[in-house]
Amino acid sequence: MDVMLLVLILSVCGPVWATTIDMDYGGVPLWINRFLGEPSVLSLRDRMEPGWFRAVNTQSCPLECDCPIQWPTALYCEHRGLQHLPEGLPSRIQYLFLQGNALTGFNSGVFANTSSLRWLFLDRNQILSERLEPTLLSNLTRLVNLFMNHNNLTEVPTGLPRGLKQLRLAYNHIEKISPGAFQDLRNLTLLLLQGNRLKTVSEADFKGLPILNLLDLSHNNLETFPKHLPPSVQQLYLSGNDLTGLSEDCLQDFNGLRYLRLSRNRLKNQDLASAAFNVTSLVELDLSYNQLTQIPVVPTSLQYLYLEVNHIREFNVSSLCRTVGPTSYSRLKILRLDGNKMAYHQLPPDWVYCLRVLHNIYI
């Protein structure tokens, strides 16, 4: 069965929530609530004959777009080579798909008639920061998802709607966060900024995000671990930067950090404080593809530890278990040590007492 057909079936007949695999959309799937009338496909390209839509749908629809009767509040204008937003956008639309065009910016007032918008997809255009007016989206008070991945932005847009829950700005050229850009986004739970050019994070950059859950800063140019991040973050991704170490207080302000990804940096043991990862809420820690020569000290509550492709030569049990006893042992389920400078026969005999609930170890 075609995979996309399976997703469509699940969204109609299956659970309340389904995920799209139509495109990566910044690397994090978009969950779809079919009971809210959310469309279960994010692109009609190569799926249905456009002429069929116009033959069976009597609602107004711009000539450059498609208006499927299955989703009467959705407007599909994606992959059309558009350089300007279509005129006469219907006021009924809640889901606007404009990805894969040649848009560089917008004239003022272009969204004046679309105050009901909930999703706005602008991925893979050529949008420039200087072509975005601060008040461009100000009337979109119902907007919850804004997608602007793979554009030419050099700074985070300002004047974003306060109701946003997801903001995806991955793979642009963002070098700075505009002052107060996130100040009023009290509902934002997901923020994607990976693949940009951020070098530093100032104290005020992420103010105003009280319930942010996932923050992706991977593949930027950060040389030091960013402080002043929202304490509510549970998933923090910093892979592919230029970090060499972490101080003892880098993670101490987080309320419940669970997933931390630091792969493909330049981390070295001598620049890691001994208590750098002493966060009992941590479930998963990814330190793969770094320059570590020893297993760093991690909390015994950790369940997934990825250390592949470093320069580790020995297995030091004390990094995983300070003591071993009836209730003193590591909760690790997965431990990856493959691609290092050690072999299975080098494991000390007492490792099994420390890792007594381990499911898989890779050496």
Task: Tell me the per-residue pLDDT of 82-115, one tens digit each, with 9 for 90 and over.
Answer: 999 998 899 999 999 999 999 999 988 899 999 9
Q: What is the pLDDT of residue 40?
A: 84
Name the residue ranges covered by the structural domains of the chain. 246-363
Q: How far is CA 154 from the centre of its chain?
A: 19
The answer on pLDDT for 8 being more than 50 is no
The answer on pLDDT for 77 being more than 50 is yes
Strand, helix or coil at 253?
coil
Partners of 19 in the beta sheet?
A: 31
d(CA 163, CA 310): 43
* DSSP conformational letter for 56: H
Residue with structure tokens 């630091």? 262
Question: What is the pLDDT confidence band of residue 329, given thresholds at 50, 70 and 90?
Answer: very high
Strand, helix or coil at 74?
strand
Model pLDDT for residues 267-289, shown as the tens digit of each residue? 999 999 999 999 999 999 999 99
Pick the CATH number of 246-363 from 3.80.10.10, 3.30.70.2860, 2.40.50.140, 3.40.190.10: 3.80.10.10
Q: Is 8 in contact with 31 (CB distance < 8 Å)?
A: no
Burial of 93 (0-12, 13-18, 19+ CB in 10 A): buried
Residue 201, token pair as written in the block: 């994070």
pTM: 0.91
Residue 56 to residues 46, 70, 89, 90, 162, Cα–Cα distance (Å):
19, 11, 19, 17, 37
Min mean pLDDT across 2-6, 227-231, 316-320 is at 2-6
Q: What is the pLDDT of residue 52?
A: 59
The H-or-E segment that residue 19 falls in is strand 17-19
